Structure 1
């Protein structure tokens, strides 16, 4: 009897849930996966437009350390959010429970990002360190909020190299306030949708992992997802309506912007003293923008509905700081004071272009900028930067649909689009080759468009950092040193010019008495996209550009050119590449190179052509000529 009791006790201590064992996983889900979502249950209740209850239970098996981040054992909350419950349960490879974290075991910290002065955002998390792989984690949470402006989106595949056995998302709602929803990329997956009078349920099963592929569009552009929006909603207790973008913009203007634009009389007088009646609106705006950049700095402020409502312009004026909303609104107020109209604008700011979803009205975006009407177009102002030139649209804001808030309501418009020829880098150099293999060069580079973004920061760097930048850029030049650096940052034309004196004690190499010289001294492309056995994603070139190089290369005395390379011209759908080397009468070589890369999205089957294009360029850029010793 005693033996039976001990056996039963041993069984209970080491009992396991067979369904959570990694051995039960289908090979279709483990193939190319770092983690597998075993079961995900999400219920969102917005039957009251002023309250949202979200319940989640997510069980995931992590196969290796690359899948740890997919556990997502954390919650964000603020003063308008109540975490009713949160748990994390850890199981070993065979489904035996080994850890159970309750709410009291979670760390509770402020979300400080180094730029925030005020924030009521907090993070609740568990820092679980796995002892072995695979393991399984179940994360359970229940959260209540008085914000229904942001309904949780459904992503049945959370990211690259993560598969899903089952995911269910159910939304409960008031039939009088039925949410709109937008389905994207569901067609190729086993996903079922059931709609009722007061609820809608999405069920996904057996979704294989998506592998990362270089130069593919951003993940959310092709991954399955559903986003939602209520016509009547609450933003941290402030009720809103948004049946159309026009109506939504009117609500923003009335509830979020109204009453925030007042400026002190002294500031109004000061800013008006800097402009004259003869100035155009654009010239006045230039003056205002410079005033802004000289006066304020960016610091995030996020309390109450501060995530969306700007801090009053009078406070920005007094404190000389603010976040993107506050600084945009402050600039708008200054422009209004000198009689220049402008529109508060919300967008997704990211180096990967992301549009507002035009056929689903909901709270969107993560950044604010300002639009100044200029005929049929707009001049865009990034108000958080103290050094971006007036009207220059950086790569994080260009070519995307954004929401402008006008007196007539909201409108979706597109920000500036750069053409390939706009993003120009022109390199010119006079290069002297010595018989020791040393080079001495006067180098000039002019950058425009989005290529301006890559270099304009250099004139604010220390000399040490400037030299480090060039050594890293020209890491293929042995012993490179930059002895003189002169910059010209033309903020009006948005052109950055670099004038340098460059030396390298052993740029060339020797074959006996003869010398080997790479003609492309300052702009060698060495990147070749990786090979894929089977390409499945489209090829995206996110930024088009044009590089033009012209070098005058003076050869060392006592050497003659054995032969020059033939002219090269490569033209395809991705762009073009040409090089030419001409021996001039004074025995110098004029080397010219032009590379054009076209922005665009191309079919998957073109990837090898794209890769070969770069491969050819890299080979030609590194090619050398032989200088024969007389």
Structure 2
């Protein structure tokens, strides 16, 4: 009877209105409507994490999900990751009808095991997984997973929100009195309920009636997990190594213990490095030479087997094998610079696309490793996994982040620099000749810098003419589909220029629609803002700031020679808009038998506060309207 009542409650017969508030905005979200609209609902979820020793713990996850229709069957696929430090002891699953009657139970044969491939990614970690569905809806899917933890370095966090509504979620932590631990609450979380046990304490966090995680357009990565609690133990072990999280200095020293004795190079490697930098005295030039050596001689392969998720290969092995993951390649980079008598350090990072580091919570918050070279007049940050990034042109993923620089004496969090909009530029110049049928034969050059270069350059460095032409047709044909690229060339990407240049020519068939005696020309060929670039959320619906990967600047110039006997009937009005976060300028003019167009679009800030969202929407709407404007040509008798 209780399950029948629950079914009716969840399918829309709810009289009381449950409200959940986001701390970030104080916006009220009606859980009832979201539950009614959802394909699935998490009815109950509970995590029990019981720490039994300094490096031992038992983990149990139980979850009950209401599956309303076939669109929710994917929530019946469960993956349990394992490693040498986390072992799965037991998996149980059952499907019930809404009255609680068991329909079927999971068999051992339904549980599969898998390991990642060595081809481009090698983990060494195993996965147990299963898919357990039913085809009479609605039904309730319940499962339980028990794991054994052999290191508290991997203390599981709690993020109760999901992509579907959650009715009830709990995290129960049991610890001994001797264990020193800490936690950080993210968002609006009720404080834990504490209770005394025979050997220690139990802390229970609870959350009820949670709306699904917001999935807003241009949403900052740090807001995508919703509310939660981070955990850490102050002292921990990882295999034979021990460490402390009392502060970032102590955490950096733990990484030092993992890398001890791993920076040595064989004689052959040292001789090769010495030849590369012979007679070179400028340190910045030497760093550039050795960074390009790293890019030319090694390749990135992710290796995360057990402790290898944190301990790098020896530099000598990277030299021998010619591959490694981020920490391996950074270790090798630090080693070859040391041979050149240039001090460099590894730096632990959380890439910007994954969020931001909580600086007051020293713990394992990192997913990446880079290298940093502090020179007298400059500090160089090196992304060692990229084969095509120029020195000094760091990708956006490691810009404006708090990186833990690990030195001989410990470490500290240092903010990495972020390139300005004028450094992340795209400058296009297109000239063409229009036929009476509306086809446009054109020549184009695009100069790219900063992260706009980083976004395109790797796609064109493979040197496959067929694929390159297809990519360029998609790139230049995003606004006009009937494009054929005839020829293209790329300026030397290794040259010491401040830009990466693409040159091409071809034809846009049916570029300008012909209507009787008139031709309509929209000159915005390469960069155009459309309604696809406009966030879906209204001002009232928006909860979070607007996030771009990086600030950027687009400058476009178009010149089109007109066919004979066509004159300008009308031309668009010029437009200028500027505010604290952006700028837009468009200019249309005519000279003899030629029309010309110039456009500037700049995003000055890549994180636009929620308070400016209304102004931001209006800014984009004006640009969308202007970017659609057309010249109108009319055929004349003379």
Query: Same fold, TM exceeding 0.5?
Result: yes
* Count of residue pairs the alignment pairs up: 607
> Is residue 550 from structure 1 mapped to residue 557 from structure 2 by the alignment?
yes
Partner of residue 507, structure 1:
511
CA distance in 1, matches of 2:618, 2:71: 31
> Is residue 74 from structure 1 mapped to residue 79 from structure 2 by the alignment?
yes
> Is residue 356 from structure 1 mapped to residue 341 from structure 2 by the alignment?
no
CA distance in 2, matches of 1:520, 1:120: 50
1:49–1:282 Cα change, 3 Å: farther
Partner of residue 194, structure 2:
194
Partner of residue 8, structure 2:
23
Partner of residue 575, structure 1:
582
> Is residue 62 from structure 1 mapped to residue 64 from structure 2 by the alignment?
no
Partner of residue 345, structure 2:
343
1:52 to 57, 77, 80: 57
Partner of residue 604, structure 2:
598
1:60–1:453 Cα change, 3 Å: same
CA distance in 2, matches of 1:288, 1:316: 15
Note the C-alpha offset of 1:114. Answer: 4.0
Partner of residue 624, structure 2:
618
Partner of residue 401, structure 1:
402
Please state whether the residue corresponding to 2:355 is helix, strand or coil: coil
CA distance in 2, matches of 1:38, 1:489: 59
Please state whether the residue corresponding to 1:502 is helix, strand or coil: strand
Provide the aligned C-alpha RMSD in A.
Answer: 2.5
- The CA deviation string for residues 437-476 of structure 1, in whole angstroms up to 9 with x for no partner, is 2212111111111111222122424222222223323144
1:303–1:218 Cα change, 3 Å: closer
Greater shift in the superposed pair: 565-574 or 142-151: 565-574
CA distance in 1, matches of 2:195, 2:374: 44
CA distance in 1, matches of 2:301, 2:620: 41
> Is residue 248 from structure 1 mapped to residue 251 from structure 2 by the alignment?
yes
CA contact (8 A) 1:392 1:494 kept: no
Partner of residue 163, structure 1:
165
CA distance in 1, matches of 2:212, 2:323: 45
1:489–1:456 Cα change, 3 Å: farther
Equivalent positions of 1:209-288 (< 5 A) are: 209-218=212-221, 220=223, 223-254=226-257, 256-276=258-278, 278-288=280-290
> Is residue 149 from structure 1 mapped to residue 153 from structure 2 by the alignment?
yes
CA contact (8 A) 2:49 2:172 kept: yes
> Is residue 487 from structure 1 mapped to residue 494 from structure 2 by the alignment?
no
CA distance in 2, matches of 1:122, 1:522: 46
Partner of residue 537, structure 1:
543
Note the C-alpha offset of 1:113. Answer: 7.0
1:114–1:257 Cα change, 3 Å: same
Equivalent positions of 1:391-430 (< 5 A) are: 391-430=392-431
- The CA deviation string for residues 15-39 of structure 1, in whole angstroms up to 9 with x for no partner, is x972795334375351443332222
Normalised by the length of structure 1, the TM-score is: 0.90
- The CA deviation string for residues 152-183 of structure 1, in whole angstroms up to 9 with x for no partner, is 111111x23x2222211122223333211110
Note the C-alpha offset of 1:602. Answer: 4.0
Partner of residue 12, structure 1:
none
Please state whether the residue corresponding to 1:85 is helix, strand or coil: strand
CA distance in 2, matches of 1:375, 1:101: 64
Normalised by the length of structure 2, the TM-score is: 0.89
CA contact (8 A) 1:169 1:203 kept: yes
Please state whether the residue corresponding to 2:391 is helix, strand or coil: coil
1:180 to 179, 182, 187: 182
CA distance in 2, matches of 1:266, 1:95: 70
Note the C-alpha offset of 1:133. Answer: 3.2
Note the C-alpha offset of 1:342. Answer: 1.0
Note the C-alpha offset of 1:478. Answer: 5.1
CA distance in 2, matches of 1:65, 1:193: 38
Structure 2 residues not aligned, in runs of 5+: 15-30
CA contact (8 A) 1:571 1:577 kept: yes
CA distance in 2, matches of 1:610, 1:227: 33
1:106 to 108, 111, 122: 111
CA contact (8 A) 1:236 1:304 kept: no
CA distance in 1, matches of 2:515, 2:306: 71
Partner of residue 451, structure 1:
452
1:142–1:444 Cα change, 3 Å: same
CA contact (8 A) 2:264 2:315 kept: yes
CA contact (8 A) 1:252 1:405 kept: yes
1:32–1:608 Cα change, 3 Å: farther
> Is residue 204 from structure 1 mapped to residue 207 from structure 2 by the alignment?
yes
CA distance in 2, matches of 1:242, 1:45: 20
Please state whether the residue corresponding to 1:246 is helix, strand or coil: helix
CA contact (8 A) 2:432 2:440 kept: yes
Structure 1 residues not aligned, in runs of 5+: 1-15
CA contact (8 A) 2:77 2:132 kept: no
CA contact (8 A) 1:355 1:402 kept: no
CA distance in 2, matches of 1:341, 1:67: 54
Partner of residue 334, structure 2:
332
> Is residue 309 from structure 1 mapped to residue 315 from structure 2 by the alignment?
no
Partner of residue 5, structure 1:
none
Greater shift in the superposed pair: 368-377 or 400-409: 368-377
Note the C-alpha offset of 1:104. Answer: 5.0
